[in-house]
Chains A and B, each alone.
Chain A
């Protein structure tokens, strides 16, 4: 078995996380397989859709997704999936906090139920409200450097731009935009959505992303547990590559005599 590679911890809102792979809990074929996959991923942050959970504060055997998640092993990061505007997202986040979930929220607002693309206007509005109320807010955004900057201005703890649409497994199709977000970022940047294979995840990490979030590619794999491990390794490998520093890729032959030798 390959041991974990040593990488710098991920720090979000002053909290330290040992893994740079976040995993989602949707689309799994059973609670048990989800649980085993999360364990195999070694993830320190696990997102869960509040709409799937019981928010009454009472246990519900028919909405028991949280029962499979042990808060001792990782941060349970509630997400606001299902919210179509700021008001709905704020309401469900407050309810989750009142029900005893962490006051951290993955803010996702998608008015289009088909491609689940995030609404930047509503996301910014909700982020402002929730941050004022003391939430640690991790917003899901399109790979738009301006909205990323504005969300950082209001105090978001990360930004989570998409690589490509949710569930599409298309990898990073927003590379040029993400490069700008990374260059300008004052908070960790987590690439969320669209990463379909370990090479996509490694590529995101090599670019300098602080972390990635994977759900569909693990959940619907024939063997989700092995796939979770594969993603964990690829995230570590990509991060190590980034931390060591890239060797320069060049198509131009180096001049044997340096062009600036006259300065010596």
Chain B
């Protein structure tokens, strides 16, 4: 199989962005009549300034397509941060190695205790997250976490520093179902500038993580860009190209696309104002992704405001996190009755924007005529007791 990083070199993303900017009403109306984006060119038109004037129509298409494939349901999951130890410098990230924050890798017993707390809140799907550190995060630690957490959680995915296929295999064999890896920015000069040190410097290596993960046997693969680092249309067209490539080459994997915007974090990073996406932009993007990728999960995290999250429930997203903390070990200090932190979180990766409890999120989903789905996978599918 060819690597996407090689193919990507020859994809004219800049030209597509320009094509998007220049989209005419006539072009757009033809696509809206089809109700689907059948190519990157169609997708470029749907994320165009011109299409922003048709946002209601986009929303209607997106709503219908999503209901057809996913029904009136939203799946819920919780992230559990295992470690904020990190050898990388990523200028926008709270875990960046040069940030003076308290560093911790939580012990297995605490991982289990926190998993139980999350299960008590209703979660049956867990995302284990960690910084990239060979000493703390590798060496069988994550594998043990997966093994033990599966006794409580039916579905486990991971978001870690990229590994070789061989490195992923033990995690898949342990019963890990999904892998999330964000390219952060697909714009190589920007990527190099904001990742000056650490293994994450290697742009192509990160880009091909999804394929290595697929080769190891992960059945769910999540992609995304961190919007706000570079021009959002450039990023979105790159994510679209990446997703279309993976659909062809990694056909057994369920794709999920996250729409993440930069949040305030420790460090001195100041985002470029031109690159910031508005709520309207992100709504348009969700609808456009849905019209291009009808079967992909679209994930919305607690990075976004309650108002936007409420609004997007019916517009194309399928999966939400809720009541999240981005600090390792923080759930241990949550008040279980109202799911709020009792302590400051100086070691968090970024500060969330939607602080509602899991129960409040589930109620919000129900009130919109959708079913909050906590369990949609069973560990028996991926683990053998024999």
Contacts and interface: CB of A to CB of B under 8 A. Distances in A.
Interface string B268-281: 00000000000000
Contacts of B124: 60, 62-63
Nearest to B293: A114
Interface residues of A, number: 35
Given A51-B378, A60-B375, A63-B124, A113 B254 contact: yes
B374 interface: yes
Contact of B122 (A31, A62, A168, A169): A62
B120 to A, nearest CB: 10
A81 B295 CA distance: 16
A168 B294 CA distance: 11
Contacts of A102: none
Given A27-B70, A28-B72, A82 B371 contact: no
Contact of B381 (A63, A82, A219): A82
- By secondary structure, the A interface counts as loop
- By secondary structure, the B interface counts as loop
Contact of A92 (B69, B73, B370, B378): B378
Nearest to B64: A220
Contacts, number: 91
Nearest to B375: A63
Nearest to B297: A113
Interface string B62-99: 00000111111100000000000000000000000000
A112 interface: yes
Contacts of A26: 71, 73
Interface string A91-128: 11001000000000000000111110000000000000
Contacts of B70: 27
Contacts of B123: 62
Interface of B: 67-73, 122-124, 154, 219, 247, 251-254, 295, 366, 369-371, 373-378, 380-382, 384
Interface of A: 26-31, 50-55, 60-63, 82-84, 87-88, 91-92, 95, 111-115, 167-169, 216, 219-220
